[in-house]
Amino acid sequence: MAHAEAHAHPATSTGIDNRKLAIWTFIGSECLFFASLISTYLVYKGEEPRRALPQGHLRDPLGHLRHGAAAVQLAVRRAVAQCAEQGNRKKTILWLGLTIVCGLFFIGMQVYEFSHFVHKGLTMQGTCSRELLHAGRASTAPT
């Protein structure tokens, strides 16, 4: 009996084991994801592909650099966790500093990119956004 009590999971506020709740949440999110994917396919099935955005608006070389910094930040965060687990305070602080620098670079690039889009006239009120938001309805409108 003592062995069974040692492996018992702590009581939760819902009365449901946290692992069970987590797996059902994951399954529910997967159902929503694939339902949206399949319904989007069914809505646009048989339609001719169109390009909603004018050529070149999303081809920004700084975007590749920004996403590269985000990928490096993920690797650096793993190094932070590893150094912290080993108890190496000096390396942990160094890697944390690099994580903060990568994060600030990513946020700075986001600010630059979106201010650049606004400067080009790509706002929610701009024509490009209207084309993108109404792309599905434009092709089904009666002629």
Q: List pLDDT tens digits, range 88-106.
A: 999 999 999 988 888 888 8
Residue 51 lies in a domain: no
Q: Which of 5-9, 59-63, 97-101 has the highest mean pLDDT?
A: 97-101
Q: 126 and 67, same structural domain? A: yes
State the Cα–Cα distance between residues 110 and 29, nearest whole angstrom: 27
Q: Is residue 93 in a domain?
A: yes
Cα–Cα dist 37/40, whole Å: 5
Cα 81 to the center of its chain, rounded Å: 21
- Domain of 119, in residue numbers: 61-143
What's the number of domains the chain is made of?
A: 2
pTM listed for this prediction = 0.45
66 and 105 co-located in one domain = yes
Q: Which pLDDT belongs to residue 141?
A: 44
**Domain shared by 101 and 141, yes or no:** yes
Determine the Cα–Cα distance for residues 4 and 17; give it in Å rounded to an integer: 16
Cα 30 from Cα 48, distance rounded (Å): 28
Identify whether 139 is part of a domain. Answer: yes
Query: Is 71 among the domain residues?
Result: yes
